[in-house]
Structure 1
Amino acid sequence: MRQPNRRRRNRKQEGSDQRDRWMITYADLITLLLIFFVVMYAMSRLDTEKYKLVTQSLQATFQSGDSILEMGSGITGTADTENHKNPPPQTAVTEDKEEDNGEAPLTERELAFRAQEEELANFMGLIQQYVKDNQLEEDIFISDEPQGIAITLSDRFLFDVGKAELKSGAAPVLGKLASLFGDLNTTVSIEGHTDNVPIGRHSSYKDNWELSGARAMSVLRFFLEDSKLDPAGFQYAGYADTRPAADNATPEGKQKNRRVEITVLRQLKQ
C-alpha cells in the first residue's frame, strides 16, 4: 500500500519543478535586457571635453576664415551693426592667422626658407628677362630644379675649344649674375662638364677631368676676384663627361654636354 503514495509524491515534485522552470527563463531575459540598456546608455554618453574641443575648433575655423557671405559672423554669435558699417581692416600677419587656426607658428628657420623661396623666384625672373632682352636663349638655359635655380652656360661664349680661359664676351653675363648673387642668403655651386672626346696631345690639361675643373674654377675666380664676392658663398667641381645632358653620339649632343652649370642652391648659409 505504500508504493502508490510514493508515486504520487514523486509526481507532485516533478510537476512543481516544471512549473518553476519559467522563472529561469524570465531571469535570463531580465539579465539580457539589463545588459542591453547598460550598453545603450554607455553608447549614448557624450565626452563633454571632446565636444568642447570640436566646437571650439569649428568656431575658430569659420570665424577666422574668409566667409563667402559678406558680413558673416561664423557659426555662432550675431553680426555687429557697427562692424557692418565699418568692417575691421584685415592686416593680420601670417603667424597670427596660424595661431588663430590652432597651428603652431613657423620657426625662424622655416621663415628663412620661405623668404629664400621668394628671393629665388625673383632671381629667376630677373635672369630670364635678361636672357630674353639680350637674345641669349641659344647659350643660356634656366630651370627651376629641386636643388635650386640652375643656369646652364654653353661653352661657346665662355671658352675656346680645349681652353679654360674666359672669353671677353662672357664678362657681361657673369657680371650680371654676380650683381644678383650678393643679395642671396644661399650657396652658389659651379660645375664644369665636357663631352666624351679625349683631350688632345698638345693640350695643357691631362684629361677632361682637369679641363672641366679648370673651367669651373675660371668662372669662380671671376666672381671672387673681378666681382669681389664672398668666397664662403661658393663651391665648385669638375665632372668631365660623367654627367652628360645629351647623347654624345651626335654633334648637337656633344655641344650640349660642353657646359658650365651654375646652381643657386636651396639651402641657407650656416
Structure 2
Amino acid sequence: MRQRNRRKQRGTEQDSRDRWMITYADLITLLLIFFVVLYAMSSLDTEKYNVVTGSLSQTFKNGSALPGGGNGLLDGQKGLNGTSPGRQSQPGSPEPGKGQDAGGAESSEGPSPTKSDNLKPSDRELAFREQEARLAELMGVITKYVKDNNLGDQIFVADKPQGIAITLSDRFLFDPGNAALKAPALPALKQLSGLFHGIGATISIEGHTDNMPLSKLSRYSDNWELSGARALSVLRYFVDKEGLTPSTFQYAGYGDTRPASDNSTEAGRQKNRRVEIIVLRQLQGK
C-alpha cells in the first residue's frame, strides 16, 4: 500500500515537471504561425501587381484627373482596365465616330484642335502687329531725317509705352515767350506731315514750359496759356497748311506741371521748354 502511494506521488511529480513543455510547444506553434503570416504578406501576386502599376502609369502619363473625369476605382463601375461590367472593349480603340480624351474616356466632340489652330493669331493680334510695324517704320524714317539734317540737338525721337514721341525744342520752333512758328522749323514739320498721312493713329500734340514766370510784355497770361498756344500752333500747321484730317489730332498745354528735367538749372529749364508730338498706340498686345 505504501509502495503504491509512493508510485502515485512520483507520477504526479513527473507530470508537474513536464508541463513547461506544453507551454513551450504552444509558443513554438504561435511563432511558426506568425512567420507564415509574415511570409504570406511579403509574397506579391506578380500578375495583379503588374496590372495595378500599369494602370497607374497609364493614368499619370495621360494626365487624367480622376475627380473631374470620374474614371477612378471609387466609382464602383469600372475595373483596372477602364471598362464597365458587361461591356468589352479593346484598350485604346474608341468606337467609330467618337473621340477619346486623355484619360481614355470617350468623347463625341470629335478631334481636339491641333497646335497650329491654337497658334493662329487673332484679328486683334494681327492689327497690333501691323500697327507696331508702322510705328517702327515711322521712328526709323524720323531718326534718319534728324541725323541727315544735323537736328540731333533740336529733335529727339523715343519709343515710349504710349507711342512714338517726337520732342521738338522750343528754340527750334518759337522765339522766347512766343507761340508763332519760326520759318526754319517749317521744313521739319512738313516732313513730319508727310509721314502722318494715312498713319491710322491718333496724334497728340502737347506743349510744355519751364517754371519761370512770363514777362509782363508777353501776350500770354501764364505758362498754361503759352504751352497750349504753342501746341495749337503746331496742330494748325498740320491741318491748315498741310491738309491733314483734324480728327486725327488732339492737343493739350501742360505748362510746367510735367518737367522732363530739373528746373533749377538753365540746361534743365531748356529741356522742359518743348513740344511733344506723340503718335499714340491704340491697340495693346495680348
- The structure-2 alpha-carbon separation of the partners of 1:233 and 1:17, relative to structure 1 and needing over 3 Å to count, comes to same
- The structure-2 alpha-carbon separation of the partners of 1:14 and 1:145, relative to structure 1 and needing over 3 Å to count, comes to closer
Partner residue, 2:38: 25
Name the TM-score, length of structure 2 as normaliser.
Answer: 0.66
Q: 2:217 aligns with which of 202, 208, 211?
A: 202
Could you tell me which amino acid in structure 2 is paired with residue 162 of structure 1? G
Query: What per-residue deviation string (whole Å, max 9, x for no partner) do you get for residues 13-57 of structure 1?
Result: 45543443322222222269899766654565477767xxxxxxx
Secondary structure in structure 1 of the residue aligned to 2:186 = helix
Query: What per-residue deviation string (whole Å, max 9, x for no partner) do you get for residues 165-187 of structure 1?
Result: 22233222211111111121211
- The structure-2 alpha-carbon separation of the partners of 1:16 and 1:135, relative to structure 1 and needing over 3 Å to count, comes to closer
- Take 2:29 and 2:271, find their aligned partners in 1: how far apart are those partners? 107
Could you tell me which amino acid in structure 2 is paired with residue 128 of structure 1? T
- Take 1:15 and 1:260, find their aligned partners in 2: how far apart are those partners? 104
- The structure-2 alpha-carbon separation of the partners of 1:21 and 1:251, relative to structure 1 and needing over 3 Å to count, comes to closer
**Aligned ranges 1:145-156 → 2 under 5 Å:** 145-156=160-171
Query: What per-residue deviation string (whole Å, max 9, x for no partner) do you get for residues 53-106 of structure 1?
Result: xxxxxxxxxxxxxxxxxxxxxxxxxxxxxxxxxxxxxxxxxxxxxx77564211
Secondary structure in structure 2 of the residue aligned to 1:157 = helix
Percentage identity across paired residues of the two chains: 50
Query: What per-residue deviation string (whole Å, max 9, x for no partner) do you get for residues 223-268 of structure 1?
Result: 1222221222211111111222222222222222111011112225
Q: Does 1:183 align with 2:198?
A: yes
Name the TM-score, length of structure 1 as normaliser.
Answer: 0.69
- Take 1:105 and 1:253, find their aligned partners in 2: how far apart are those partners? 49
- Structure 2, unpaired ranges of 5+: 1-7, 64-113
Cα deviation, residue 137, structure 1: 2.1
- The structure-2 alpha-carbon separation of the partners of 1:196 and 1:26, relative to structure 1 and needing over 3 Å to count, comes to same
- Structure 1, unpaired ranges of 5+: 51-98
Secondary structure in structure 2 of the residue aligned to 1:156 = helix
- Take 2:26 and 2:267, find their aligned partners in 1: how far apart are those partners? 112
Could you tell me which amino acid in structure 1 is paired with residue 245 of structure 2? D
- Take 1:245 and 1:44, find their aligned partners in 2: how far apart are those partners? 63
Cα deviation, residue 192, structure 1: 0.4
Q: 1:160 aligns with which of 172, 175, 189?
A: 175
- Take 2:43 and 2:167, find their aligned partners in 1: how far apart are those partners? 85
- Take 1:195 and 1:8, find their aligned partners in 2: how far apart are those partners? 113
- Take 1:40 and 1:121, find their aligned partners in 2: how far apart are those partners? 58
- The structure-2 alpha-carbon separation of the partners of 1:256 and 1:44, relative to structure 1 and needing over 3 Å to count, comes to closer
- When the two chains are superposed, the root-mean-square deviation of aligned CA atoms in Å is 3.1
Which structure's relative contact order is higher, taking Cα pairs within 8 Å and 6+ residues apart? 1
Indicate the structure (1 or 2) with the bigger Cα radius of gyration: 2
- The structure-2 alpha-carbon separation of the partners of 1:249 and 1:27, relative to structure 1 and needing over 3 Å to count, comes to same
Could you tell me which amino acid in structure 2 is paired with residue 180 of structure 1? L
Cα deviation, residue 190, structure 1: 0.7
Q: Does 1:125 align with 2:143?
A: no
- The structure-2 alpha-carbon separation of the partners of 1:9 and 1:257, relative to structure 1 and needing over 3 Å to count, comes to closer
- Take 1:48 and 1:127, find their aligned partners in 2: how far apart are those partners? 56
